Amino acid sequence: MPTKESIELRGRQLTGRFDDPLPDAEQPQWREVPGATVVPRGSSDFEQRGPIILSGFMIVVPSSVAVLDTDGIKVRGEEHEIDGAIGDYGKKKIFYTIRVN
């Protein structure tokens, strides 16, 4: 069921010279986005190797929200990443997320 709630966004994680993540103090800060529409999604696809289970959310935000496909997202306290392209439909932006382990 869709609900309106706050999500958090932050820019891409920064890495050092050898692709090691930089300390948290040097990473982009989380910014709150209130009033996002959050719809749970689930899928059980089957591939040659067996079932693949995706879990995440469809998220709708106003078009004024700056979001890139490399941004990190926190939904309901769990970190997610954007899955696919961000659709910009004039007044709204729609994107899908998958949970980061």
Give pLDDT tens digits for 14-38: 778 888 877 777 778 899 999 999 9
Structure tokens belonging to residue 23:
């300390």
Tell me the pTM.
Answer: 0.78
Longest dimension (CA), the chain: 44
CA 42 to chain centre: 15
Place of tokens 């920064």: 14
CATH topology of domain 3-99: Thrombin, subunit H (2.40.10)
Alpha-carbon Rg for the chain in angstroms:
15
pLDDT in tens, 57-84: 999 999 999 999 999 999 999 999 999 9
Structure tokens belonging to residue 76:
């309901």
> What proportion of the chain, given as a percentage, has pLDDT over 90?
58
For residues 68 and 9, give the distance between their C-alpha atoms in angstroms, rounded to a whole number.
Answer: 10
CA 53 to chain centre: 17
Nearest residue to 26 via CA among 47, 12, 36: 12
pLDDT of residue 46: 65
